[in-house]
Structure 1
Amino acid sequence: MGARLTFDHAVHFVDKPEHAPAELAKLGIHTVQGGRHESIGTYNALTYFDLRYIEWIGIFDPKLLPPHQETHRYGLVDTLAGDGYVKGLSRIALRTEQIDELAAQLAAQGLEVIGPVDCSRRRPDGKLLQWKLLFAGLPDEGLPLPFFIQWDDSDEARRADLTANGTIADHARGPLALDYVAFTVRDLQETVSQWAKWLSLEAGEAVYDDYWKGKKQALHLGNFQLIFIEPDLEGLAWKYLQARGERPFLVGLNSGLDGVSEQYVEVHGSLYHLR
């Protein structure tokens, strides 16, 4: 049995994170300003669904971005490096309370592992947030693996703090839950089998999806799903695969309410499934 993993957050690159609260309010989604990662030149806004969240990240000073070095191969810097970056979903983070055990588990399977690395960010209210990050992968991988996070505070303490300061709050659209992220891939069978093995997750049945025009399969992370789609005909999934490669392209938000209209909305280069 490997280290226990839960979904933590999705990283979505935007030009101006400070615009996210007003933009998402039009969809009935509560979002707050985050803070700055002063040492690497990035800043964010945050949309929480209990402890799962979306990080809307942008650059405030390109000169502070870490150089594109071997030590950042499996981090986010590869996406940020250069004169610009592609807007949209980029990576997901999985949460663990056993990050050292997880590092050993991934290394034992032949993956290159970087970390755990100590990180921190000071919130606008002055509180210092601290966490550890772990990165892993292979040089020739297609879809980048999630990165892994271990927060210094417990889930209970974080939930109470984030609720008290208004970061976790009701959404005008209803009691939304972030319940899946979907990825475009070029080889469904290989990707799902590798992720299932590396992350000790159970895979569902592979099926053909007429809406996405391709094969689809899910990995189960408790009541959360990682969905992989290998499109074989031109359509939305094909478009995102051609434009952005093997990356997350879709986030599912579920109100759990009967009679709610279902829609796919494009937000800064990626799709959000509202239902």
Structure 2
Amino acid sequence: MKLEIDHVVHFLNRHPLEAVKLLKNHGYHAVMGGRHENWGTHNSLFYNGLSYVEFLAIEDRQKANEADNPLVQQLISDIGRGEGVGQICLRTNNISVLQSTIWKRGFKTSGIFNGSRKREDGSVIRWKMLFIIEKTLLPFPFFIEWEQTDEERFHDLKKLQMITDDQENRSIKSVTYTVHNAEKAAKEWSKLFDVPIHYLKDAKDITASIQVGALEIVFVQPATKESDLYKVLHQRGDRPLLVTFEPILRKQGFELFGTRYQ
């Protein structure tokens, strides 16, 4: 199945506008996204081409608690352990066919969710979402099909100045997870996406990776409990800790609310 990285979801325990302001301080353009009125959440967005970082936070606790969206429920659960990227989303152009493919590979899925968001200018955008329903330490990615084509979305986002000229040719290159068992995680995700596993044999930590479209997904298992990686793993569990871009944002990167961006 053809898939591409759409976005990563960075869970926040603060107003999403704070992420916009901090990115501006680092020299990057980000914008408020809008409100998911049915789910009690709101977000801000950091676009690089059509791939982006979504900074997602709870706006209405009661609505969020009642939402049947698995992403919102993960946000509620994860935020108690600290802020940071908690999920990645992959884009497809036929979510129904994708669902059937996932079933054939032995994974259970949710039904297909209809999503929408009201932008700051009052316009509404719509999409469909699909989640894998498996009880694992490391949540599988979820999937999205936009109402618009990629070309229509890109034109629209440029017109709204959500994608700037200097960020339109950049994209998310890789997402690195810290995990308890890198080999197990890689095998499960390899089965889901029907792709080979690559092992980094000379690394100090146990490292495995897979390639999904243009996105590299890396799993790192800390070698010792004394390492900084293990401290992150102990606090947040099996979750992403690093997002890299092509071209890179900055050689050393920067820390932003629990995740390193580079």
TM-score of the superposition, structure 1-length normalised? 0.87
User: Does the CA contact (< 8 Å) of 1:216 and 1:229 recur in 2?
Assistant: yes
Identity of matched residues, %: 31
1:106 aligns to what?
102
Question: Are residue 231 (structure 1) and residue 230 (structure 2) matched?
Answer: no
Provide the C-alpha distance between the structure 2 equivalents of 1:8 and 1:82, rounded to a whole number of angstroms.
21
- Choose the corresponding residue for 1:205, options 199, 208, 215: 199
Provide the C-alpha distance between the structure 2 equivalents of 1:126 and 1:265, rounded to a whole number of angstroms.
33
Question: Are residue 193 (structure 1) and residue 187 (structure 2) matched?
Answer: yes
SS of the residue corresponding to residue 113 of structure 1 reads coil
Shift of 1:206: 3.4
Map 1:169-188 onto structure 2 (within 5 A). Answer: 169-171=164-166, 176-188=170-182
Provide the C-alpha distance between the structure 2 equivalents of 1:38 and 1:63, rounded to a whole number of angstroms.
12
Shift of 1:81: 5.0
CA offsets 1:127-151 (integer angstroms, 9 cap, x no match):
2111000000322x12110011010
1:266 aligns to what?
255
CA offsets 1:74-99 (integer angstroms, 9 cap, x no match):
53313315995631111010111121
Question: Are residue 7 (structure 1) and residue 5 (structure 2) matched?
Answer: yes
- Choose the corresponding residue for 1:156, options 151, 158, 169: 151
1:52 aligns to what?
51
Look up the equivalent residue of 1:187 and give its one-letter code. Answer: N
User: Does the CA contact (< 8 Å) of 1:79 and 1:85 recur in 2?
Assistant: no
Shift of 1:175: 5.8
Question: Are residue 167 (structure 1) and residue 166 (structure 2) matched?
Answer: no
SS of the residue corresponding to residue 192 of structure 1 reads helix
Question: Are residue 218 (structure 1) and residue 212 (structure 2) matched?
Answer: no
Question: Are residue 138 (structure 1) and residue 134 (structure 2) matched?
Answer: yes
Provide the C-alpha distance between the structure 1 equivalents of 2:222 and 2:258, rounded to a whole number of angstroms.
18
- Gaps in structure 1 of 5+ consecutive residues: none
Aligned CA distance change for structure 1 residues 135 and 83 (closer, same or farther; 3 Å): closer
Give the aligned length.
260
Aligned CA distance change for structure 1 residues 89 and 83 (closer, same or farther; 3 Å): closer
Structure with greater proportional helix content: 2
CA offsets 1:188-216 (integer angstroms, 9 cap, x no match):
11111110111222322333434xxx111
Provide the C-alpha distance between the structure 1 equivalents of 2:81 and 2:126, rounded to a whole number of angstroms.
26
- Choose the corresponding residue for 1:78, options 56, 74, 80: 74
2:36 aligns to what?
37
Q: Which stretch of the first structure deviates more once superposed, 147-156 or 58-67? A: 58-67
- Gaps in structure 2 of 5+ consecutive residues: none
Provide the C-alpha distance between the structure 2 equivalents of 1:131 and 1:112, rounded to a whole number of angstroms.
21
1:253 aligns to what?
245
SS of the residue corresponding to residue 114 of structure 1 reads coil
- Tell me the C-alpha RMSD between the 2 structures: 2.3
- Choose the corresponding residue for 1:243, options 227, 235, 242: 235
SS of the residue corresponding to residue 255 of structure 2 reads strand
SS of the residue corresponding to residue 229 of structure 2 reads helix
Question: Are residue 125 (structure 1) and residue 121 (structure 2) matched?
Answer: yes
Aligned CA distance change for structure 1 residues 130 and 218 (closer, same or farther; 3 Å): same
